[in-house]
């Protein structure tokens, strides 16, 4: 097959691939516990589903504007105003089929062949491949477990060159659960403001799954001067348990948004009209379920962190948010017959029947990512199995 050179450069998303593999095993009758994908196990709240049903019944079943319905864009603008104290105009907002599509489109619009994109490592699985697909070069800003996944500002400076186009921040971070607090963000913005044309993207998708003692801040909260260079990325999937509805959005410089709109007009046209109506409801009323979901994630987090730390050779930090934990198995692997985190993930899948994602998918060998967006009973079961296979 004569495929494009571009597609040969990237691999399937590990989170998606491992989840399909685990689900296939389940279909074949194997009792696999799936801790791979970051997908809330809670049902979408009823008021959101009702809004979708209403949209169907009232005939809101056609194409919408490429950048989203006026109602949803207004709801997003109000969300930014009320929750983030940020103000945006309608031409600074675009709705996409998931935060993932907004990230992809942003990169296609900004990145040229050879442009460098700085990404704190560990990073969400698709960041590096999306950059490569856009023709860019990912430059890894390494963080370490030992240093609590903190970004070192001197290292950030070393990552910058005259080819740097963009810095991609994701906080709270998938997979480490690290929240970059306002002090860190202000140090980052100081570096960016000392340059002229480096853009910054802030992936805020885990904004509401956050238990750090500081209220959630993104880079624009601490540095409004970056407004022309910042792209805020978010969506309803994680907070409102709406992964399948596929609604995300981007907010930023109207010129960038306009180009993302051009790209979207030539690719997917618009996000689903019905899902947009549902997302509008999600953002427009108080979601009573949200605090309960967050409290439940925190309870699961506390349990899993404690359990994992009981295994010899395993270290698991408490996170600041998200529904992942990202323990280090380095010592365990060193003292075993395993060569790396991929072997470990295979062992857990084959022997414990627990599916997890190897840390190397996120750029950090020796770790694995466990999603805790699964009910407590399954999680207890998963911990019992992991402990028994690894002891
Ligand atoms: N963001 C989720 C994860 O990391 C969803 C899967 C994906 O799109 O990669 O598991």
CA geometry: angle 272, 278, 283, nearest 5 deg: 120
Measuring from atom 5 of ligand 1, which residue has the nearest CA?
Answer: 38
The values of phi and psi at residue 319, to 5°, are -100, 175
Range with the lowest mean pLDDT among 20-29, 242-251, 320-329? 20-29
pLDDT at 286 over 90: yes
Residue 300: pLDDT band (50, 70, 90) is very high
* Rounded Cα–Cα distance for residues 187 and 184 (Å): 5
Classify burial at 361, counting beta carbons within 10 Å of its beta carbon; exposed 0-12, middle 13-18, buried 19 or more: buried
Measuring from atom 1 of ligand 1, which residue has the nearest CA?
Answer: 38
**Cα of 37 from ligand 1 centre, angstroms:** 6
- 3-state SS assignment for residue 163: coil
Does 16 sit in the ligand 1 pocket, CB within 6 Å?
yes
CA geometry: angle 184, 96, 116, nearest 5 deg: 45
* In contact, 322 and 173? CB cutoff 8 Å: yes
3-state helix, strand, coil in the chain (%, to 5): 45, 15, 40
* Rounded Cα–Cα distance for residues 37 and 172 (Å): 17
**Cα of 195 from ligand 1 centre, angstroms:** 32
pLDDT at 262 over 90: yes
CA geometry: angle 89, 95, 96, nearest 5 deg: 155
Contacts of 103 by beta carbon, 8 Å cutoff, 6+ apart: 126, 127, 130, 201, 203, 233
**pLDDT at 298 (0 to 100):** 98
- pLDDT, tens only, 184-243: 999 999 999 999 999 999 999 999 999 999 999 999 999 999 999 999 999 999 999 999
E-strand stretches of the chain: 33-34, 93-96, 116-121, 137-142, 164-170, 199-203, 230-235, 248-252, 324-325, 354-355, 357-358, 368-371
Does 174 sit in the ligand 1 pocket, CB within 6 Å?
yes
Does 243 sit in the ligand 1 pocket, CB within 6 Å?
no
**Going by DSSP bridges, is the β-strand pair 199-203/116-121 parallel, antiparallel, or unpaired?**
unpaired
Measuring from atom 3 of ligand 1, which residue has the nearest CA?
Answer: 38
pLDDT at 17 over 90: no
C-alpha separations of 260 from 71, 135, 206, 269 in Å? 20, 17, 23, 11
- pLDDT, tens only, 68-87: 999 999 999 999 999 999 99
CB atoms within 10 A of CB 123: 26
Counting from 1 in the atom list of ligand 1, the atom nearest the Cα of 36 is 10
Does 238 sit in the ligand 1 pocket, CB within 6 Å?
no
Does 73 sit in the ligand 1 pocket, CB within 6 Å?
no
Does 121 sit in the ligand 1 pocket, CB within 6 Å?
no
**pLDDT at 118 (0 to 100):** 98
- 3-state SS assignment for residue 19: helix
**pLDDT at 173 (0 to 100):** 98
**pLDDT at 48 (0 to 100):** 98
**pLDDT at 323 (0 to 100):** 97
Does 356 sit in the ligand 1 pocket, CB within 6 Å?
no
Cα distance between the two ends of the chain:
47
The whole-angstrom distance between residue 37's C-alpha and the CA centroid of its chain comes to: 11
**Which residue stretches of 67-181 are H helix?**
70-84, 99-110, 126-133, 153-159
Mean pLDDT of 170-189: 98
Pocket test for ligand 1, best of 22, 39, 103 (most atoms within 8 A of CB): 39
Counting from 1 in the atom list of ligand 1, the atom nearest the Cα of 14 is 9
Determine what percent of the chain is predicted with pLDDT higher than 70.
100
**pLDDT at 1 (0 to 100):** 87
**pLDDT at 106 (0 to 100):** 98
Counting from 1 in the atom list of ligand 1, the atom nearest the Cα of 205 is 1
Does 35 sit in the ligand 1 pocket, CB within 6 Å?
no
* Rounded Cα–Cα distance for residues 40 and 374 (Å): 7
* Rounded Cα–Cα distance for residues 139 and 274 (Å): 39
Mean pLDDT of 356-378: 97
Q: Which of 237, 249, 232 is nearest to 73 (CA)?
A: 249
Does 125 sit in the ligand 1 pocket, CB within 6 Å?
yes
Does 322 sit in the ligand 1 pocket, CB within 6 Å?
no
């Amino acid at each position: 097959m004569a495929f494009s050179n571009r597609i040969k450069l990237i691999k399937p998303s590990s989170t998606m691939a491992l989840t399909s593999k685990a689900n296939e095993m389940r279909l074949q009758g194997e009792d696999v516990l799936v801790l791979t994908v970051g997908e809330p196990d809670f049902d979408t709240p009823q008021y959101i589903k009702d809004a979708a049903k209403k949209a169907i019944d009232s005939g809101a079943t056609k194409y919408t504007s490429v950048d989203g319905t006026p109602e949803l864009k207004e709801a997003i603008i109000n969300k930014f105003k009320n929750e983030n104290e940020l103000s945006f105009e309608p031409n600074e907002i675009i709705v996409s089929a998931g935060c993932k599509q907004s990230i992809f489109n942003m990169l296609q619009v900004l990145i040229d062949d050879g442009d460098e994109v700085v990404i704190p490592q560990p990073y969400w699985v698709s960041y590096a491949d999306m950059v490569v697909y856009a023709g860019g070069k990912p430059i890894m800003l390494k963080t370490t477990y030992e240093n609590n996944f903190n970004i070192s500002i001197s290292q950030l400076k070393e990552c910058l060159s005259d080819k740097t186009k963009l810095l991609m921040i994701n906080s709270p971070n998938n997979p480490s659960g690290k929240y970059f607090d306002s002090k860190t963000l202000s140090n980052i913005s100081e570096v960016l403001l000392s340059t002229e044309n480096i853009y910054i993207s802030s992936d805020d998708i885990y904004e509401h799954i956050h238990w750090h003692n500081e209220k959630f801040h993104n880079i624009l909260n601490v540095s409004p001067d970056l407004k022309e260079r910042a792209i805020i990325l978010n969506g309803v999937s994680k907070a409102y348990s709406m992964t399948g509805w596929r609604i995300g959005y981007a907010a930023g410089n109207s010129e960038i948004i306009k180009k993302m709109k051009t790209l979207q007009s030539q690719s997917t046209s618009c996000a689903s009209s019905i899902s947009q109506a549902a997302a509008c409801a999600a953002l427009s009323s108080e979601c009573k379920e949200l605090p309960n979901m967050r409290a439940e994630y925190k309870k699961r987090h506390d349990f899993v962190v404690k359990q994992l730390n009981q295994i010899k050779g395993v270290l698991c930090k408490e996170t600041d948010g998200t529904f992942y934990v990202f323990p280090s198995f380095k010592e365990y692997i060193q003292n075993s017959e395993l060569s790396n985190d991929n072997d470990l993930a295979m062992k857990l899948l084959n022997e414990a029947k627990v599916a997890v994602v190897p840390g190397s998918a996120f750029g950090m060998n020796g770790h694995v990512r466990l999603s805790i967006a699964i009910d407590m009973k399954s999680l207890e079961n998963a911990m019992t199995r992991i402990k028994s296979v690894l002891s």
